[in-house]
Amino acid sequence: MPGIGGIELANRLRERHPDLPVILTSGYSHVLAQDGPHGFDLVRKPYSASEVGKALSSAAVRRSGRRVASPADTQDAVGPSLR
């Protein structure tokens, strides 16, 4: 991203919207492995639709405090997963 990195953007979002879940994705996980994900969820590339779905479900649960349907629960409704 020109002018700002993903972690900096995530930190700004956290400051302005503390209840907004932020999930980082990275093809450069060696950078995050050195510094850590800075308290954010991390999905490492390459990732599957299932992995993204799990991260989104986890973030939604933490935000709402309740269980949401997992990708496996909704698989019949949306068809085969994207890979």
Q: Which amino acid is at 77?
A: A
Domain ranges of the chain: 6-75
Is the bond preceding residue 21 a cis peptide, omega within 30 degrees? no
Residue 32 predicted with pLDDT over 80: no
Q: For 23, list phi and psi in degrees, rounded to 5.
A: -120, 125
Q: What is the average pLDDT across 25-35? A: 70
Strands, E assignment, 1-83: 23-26, 41-44
DSSP letter, residue 1:
-
pLDDT band at 17 (very low <50, low <70, confident <90, very high): very high
- Per residue in 33-59, pLDDT (tens digit) is 677 777 888 888 889 999 999 999 999
Cα separation, 79 vs 83, in Å, equals 12
